[in-house]
Chain A
Amino acid sequence: MQPPPAPMCSSCQKHLASVHVLDLASGVLKSEQHLCQVCAETLGVVQSKSQKTKPMSAEILEDLIGSMTGDKGKMRGRSVGPACPGCGTTLGDFRMRGRFGCGRCYDTFRAALLPLLERVHDAPRHQGRFPTRPPVLRTRPDSLADLRRRLDAAILGENYEEAASLRDQLRNIDPPAGSNPAASKPAGESA
């Protein structure tokens, strides 16, 4: 039997039901209950949406990540949703691991992340200290590892012109032993 559209809460009879409890045994519907959010919370069927003061642990985080992306079944697997341009991580990956793949993931998945941050933290806005020097000027898009990865890809793709250019860049920025690691800057950038 299908529940009727927009049933009233079977407990208070005042509000529209938004929580539907179906008791299934071997795939057969044995009983059903339709509750509004308030009654469902009161009866302990669902957790309070306003429980912001509850301390957050990694275990709870996993549940939250599960709920932040909607349909659980669809979110499993690597290929779901747009991939982060920085590292290729998808929202599905994040849901499975509970960890991002790089700093850019925070931008890529910002819309899905903000409600989670609001729940876990006090406010989704940094109130703490800033780095002693602006890191934006010192990001290393052409770091050794990144260049090496691009070189491997160019060789695999038989793109020898690009490979030669990347090899030259690698030679130029590979720091001599004992030098300051921070001095390994993108090719062409003055130290």
Chain B
Amino acid sequence: MTDAPFSVPENFQPGEWLRGQGQDADIAICTRVRLARNVTGFGFYTTMQPDDSAELVQVLNRALTRPDFPERLRIVDLPGLGDIERSVLMERHLISRDLAVADRPRSVAVNEQESVSVMVNEEDHVRAQVFQSGFAVQATYDRAERLDDAIMADVPYAFSEELGFLTSCPTNVGTGLRMSVMLHLPGLVWADEIDKATATIQKISLAVRGLYGEGSRALGDFYQVSNQVTLGRSERDIVRDVGSAVERLMTWEREVREALLRGDSRCRTLDRIHRALGILERAYILSSEEALNLLSAARFGVHAGLIGGLAIREVNTALLLSQPAHLQRMHQSTLTSEQRDEHRASLMRGILARR
């Protein structure tokens, strides 16, 4: 059993997506843009031979690191990494689950702030991502477009005038753009309005997913809202669609949060937040799901000004470090599920003890 609380490693950086700053950062955790592209002259991943994949990695990485490239990127060769390190990159949203487990030459190019990541040989040859903490759809898109232009100056992309950028899956063809905003919506969940909110978003052809994309469950009241349609709408349309839907959701969330802190509801809300803090401070076993739910309550409490001595940055750090791969990397060994639960609880006690 782990008695002594863990301490957070010095200089630990939670990355851009959990920086906890920017516009509307109390609700909008991070804005992300992803562009899917394929290089002409190479088959898509379903038909590509290993030699081609390896050549493509070289071609793209040379382009991504040329001296005049607008982003300073470091290339990470993924087959050369261990399982835990690859999962760490996934938990930091720098690579997808598919890229983490794929069995072919592949890489990711990342900048120091972790606000840009370019995945090579994912489902599409290039999956370029830009992150910005908070709600910033236009700025994030603009940076992604500059990144796209810089790659295209060197590498020809598969494109048709009729169907736009050609992707291996026709659900991404056209702009190849997925604009997502990761949101923290404890108010809507606690007030039982999340299903109504989700249905409203889906009616306008936007998707609501868990934090880790398609197929992931929404845990700890964290959701991401993104466009589904990539063809027949321009990038400008998509940025506006997602932006206005997110603004509506944020307004709704704020109204519900205020209601939860008024009248008869206030005591119940305070009770829920402080119970969560109590468990985080005292528990010796915490599953990943329970930790996320408790940290969600703590995050709400910090933003509502109800909890003193705890910074949002610490909550975000706890959110990331409590993920399985981060825990294992910090411990420098593979841990069983039971061991992880003990270490996670220890980590939370360590962070909360500083209050």
Contact = CB atoms under 8 A, between A and B. Distances in A.
B98 to A, nearest CB: 11
B233 A127 contact: yes
Chain A interface size range: 35 or more
B178 to A, nearest CB: 12
Chain B interface size range: 35 or more
B214 A99 contact: no
B41 A148 contact: no
Nearest to B158: A103
Contact of A121 (B51, B149, B169, B232): B232
B152 A132 contact: yes
Contacts of B145: 129
Interface string B313-339: 000000000000000000000000000
B62 interface: yes
Interface centre among A100, A121, A128, A149 (most CB of B within 10 A): A128
A168 interface: no
A135 interface: yes
Interface stretch (A34-42, A52-60, A158-166): A52-60
A132 B63 CA distance: 16
B43 A124 contact: no
Contact of B168 (A53, A56, A99, A124): A99
Contact of B164 (A113, A128, A141): A128
Given A57-B214, A129-B235, A113 B152 contact: no
Interface stretch (B71-79, B82-90, B201-209): B201-209
Nearest to A143: B41
A128 B177 contact: yes
Contacts of A107: 160
B219 interface: no
A128 B170 contact: no
Given A124-B232, A140-B40, A181-B155, A129 B49 contact: no
Interface centre among A97, A120, A126, A130 (most CB of B within 10 A): A126
Contact of B233 (A55, A122, A132, A133): A122
Given A102-B47, A126-B163, A180 B154 contact: yes
Interface stretch (A12-20, A25-33, A69-77, A83-91): A83-91
Given A125-B231, A128-B177, A180-B154, A102 B44 contact: yes
B228 interface: yes
A24 to B, nearest CB: 33
A161 B174 CA distance: 42
Given A87-B47, A135-B158, A138-B40, A103 B166 contact: yes
A178 to B, nearest CB: 9
Contacts of B232: 121-127
A128 B206 contact: no
Contacts of A117: 163, 170, 173, 231
A181 B154 contact: yes
A102 B204 CA distance: 31
Contact of A133 (B49, B58, B152, B202): B152
B175 interface: yes
Interface of B: 38, 40-47, 49, 51-52, 55, 58-59, 62-63, 66, 123, 145, 149, 152-166, 168-171, 173-175, 177, 202-207, 214, 228-235, 237
30 contacts: A53-B203, A57-B214, A61-B170, A61-B171, A86-B43, A89-B47, A99-B46, A102-B42, A103-B158, A106-B173, A107-B160, A117-B173, A120-B229, A122-B229, A125-B162, A126-B160, A126-B232, A127-B234, A128-B233, A129-B234, A129-B235, A131-B152, A131-B157, A145-B41, A145-B51, A145-B52, A145-B55, A149-B49, A180-B62, A181-B155
